[in-house]
Structures are given as structure tokens and as C-alpha cells.
Amino acid sequence: MNTSEILAKLPYSPPFLFVDDLVSVDENGATGNFTFKEDLDFYKGHFKNNPVTPGVILTETMAQIGLVCLGIFLVGKDLNENSQIGLTSTEIEYLKPVFPGEKVTVISEKIYFRFNKLKSKVKMLNEKSEIVCEGTIAGIIM
């Protein structure tokens, strides 16, 4: 399965799609990018006059690229329109803020995939290659 096919199978659409580009994916991990456009709705209230990307959105971005894209690749052709993907746990440490207009790169490394449960080590880098946040995310494909 190539990156275009994986992106087409993502169960998200704007404004809740946080994947612009899937750079690479293989049985060990995934790498992708997303740019947080300045007009995204959540910036209007998080924080007044000094918008910052909420941690929950950073986690979602890491999950979409580092877990869901990788999971779709691993399940491959067995994934169908009735398949569901659910987040089961996260443990993320936030190290730097992400501001409107910033492009981030998410890199994941598979920890394990068994019984359709996937756990990955993930990190998000800013354009200076600084770690913005990192941790583990797990999910299940049903």
C-alpha cells in the first residue's frame, strides 16, 4: 500500500484532518507533516492575543500520522469501510509550543502490533528539528 492509498483511507476530513503529507511508512514506523494554518478555529480562543496550538491537537496530529497511518499500512488490504480505529492510551510530554503557521514533522517507531493493537513511540519536530513533544500512543483497529 502506497502513501496516497493510506491517506485516502484515513477516517478524517477537514477541519479534523491533521496530515498534509505522509513522507514514508514501512513496517517499523511512519513519518509525515502538517502545517497549522493561522486560520484554524481553535486559535481564536487558545490563548487570547497569543494563540498556541492546544496539546490535545498536537497529540491528535501525532496519532493521525504516527499511529493511524502506520496502522492502515500494517493492516493493509484487510482494512475496509467497516473498520474502526480507536485510541486506547497516550503518554505525551510537551516540551515547546507550536504557533499558528508552523509546520511540524511527526516520526513514529512501532513498539508492537499484535491482536490489531498498535503501540508506537512518537515525536514531533518543529522546522528547526527541535522536539516539540514526544511519548507513546496506542490504538486498536477493529
Q: Which of 7, 35, 46, 54 is catalytic?
A: 46
Q: Is residue 90 predicted with pLDDT exceeding 80?
A: yes
The length of the chain in residues reads 142
Q: How confident is the model at residue 114 (pLDDT cuts 50, 70, 90)?
A: very high
pLDDT tens digits for 66-77?
Answer: 999 999 999 987
Average pLDDT on 74-100 reads 90
Residues 3-141, CATH architecture = Roll (3.10)
Q: Is residue 88 predicted with pLDDT exceeding 80?
A: yes
Per-residue pLDDT, 142:
84
Q: Tell me the whole-structure pTM to 2 decimals.
A: 0.95
- Verify whether residue 46 is a known catalytic residue: yes
Q: Domain map of the chain by residue range? A: 3-141
